[in-house]
Chains A and B, each alone.
Chain A
Amino acid sequence: MSLFFTITALITMASAIAAMTLRNLVHCVLCLTVTFAGIALVFLQLGAEFIGFSQILVYIGAVSILMLFALLMTRGGTELTLKRWDPVHWITGTLIGIAGFGVMSFAIFNSSLRQSKIPEAKADSLHALGNSLLSQYVLPLEVMALLLTVALIGAALIALPEKKVFRRNASFSKNQESGNK
């Protein structure tokens, strides 16, 4: 375990703990971003450049922004701070955490990858990654692409103006004009 890895791991763990314990939700998300960056650094140390930079691009550039937007737009800027101690949250959170950890560790300990030896990082890993994505794993890739397209169309559908709202606003602005006169 190198010094660099120790520092990265400490920062990642500390920010993850801060993301769980801080009271202000925006602070929590920003700390979570530091955790994402730490995970990206771990990928980079393992020689997985593509995955590391994708992690930064997707998680810091998109997912954290998405969380912040969701926070600001749904909570109306008022409920951004949590209560000090909420036993229901703590108990359910602990249960979900244990369940998630259990599923993940079960999957990892039973996976066939664990028996096989870890191969050396190839010099041309990017080409190998691209080739296997478009040959061996082309079906999962296409399914993911379809899923994302469906999500995009769904988002556009939700954002379409509703006819009812428009009519009411039109009459509203008319009333306002006559009221001003």
Chain B
Amino acid sequence: MRHLLSAGDLSHREALSLLDMAEEMHEVQRRPIKKLPALRGRTIVNMFFEDSTRTRTSFEIAGKWMSADTINVSGKGSSVSKGESLRDTMLTLDAMGVDCFVIRHASSGAVAQTANWVRACVVNAGDGQHEHPTQALLDAYAMRQHFRASGVREAFEGKRIAIVGDLLHSRVVRSNVLLQRTLGGQVTLVAPPTLLPAGVESWGVTVSHDLDAVLPQADVVMMLRVQRERMAGGFFPTAREYSAGYGLTAERLARVRPDAAIMHPGPMNRGVEISSEAADAANSRVLEQVSAGVAVRMSVLYHLLGGEGGAR
């Protein structure tokens, strides 16, 4: 594994190995001294062309706990705004001897393009509406923890995972679908037709517009953020109507099995796609997802940089 660009690039063995190793990393998270020497002397640049406090911090902590030198570069205010091409921006940093780029970009494909240009290894921290593979991995990690804690078989095969929300604009859904296709989870996508990606019928998932019918079957209910500005695009009329049809409201919460995990990659719009009752429910795994994020990213960074890998 030289880069992590797409959740679809991971084999079944690689995906499980990343999740297994994340458990060892999670153990470090509970130690008083949160430090492993594995990436000592490695330089990781977190290149965030788009703001994301949550993902950037998670990667930064992961790198630091592994003893790497992590540097954060924000796209805003850098040469990006001066009209420099993406290629020139990345080659300039690459020439400084960076071992790994962790890249967030508003444009789909920008991370994969960069991987073709630079010597460093590249981790996709979210590109446009394309992919967010470490999010899918941490979701899978949190699911597995949940399966284990609730005493069910921890394997993903046959698990029913409902993903609900703005799927058209979501990189999280694409990576989750790809990863679960590898791991064996059965994904049902629930959204108004206006928020479904073109060609979704070929993704090997079930598509539904009836959340009430889907919820009682689900082992995992993953709610995705719906941005209010989508109303201007004519995707749905009002937040009220969206919530009535597709929100995990307090009333609808009763249809979720008590042993099913409620998940949300954040940031949450409480009252739109998820009610506070659901977000704070006993079976909500929202905070576990965040906690898993650091361990999963440590695992990813160790996989890419722990051996002889890194810049060529």
| Physical interaction between A and B | no
Q: Which residues of B contact A (CB under 8 A)?
A: none
Q: Which residues of A contact B (CB under 8 A)?
A: none
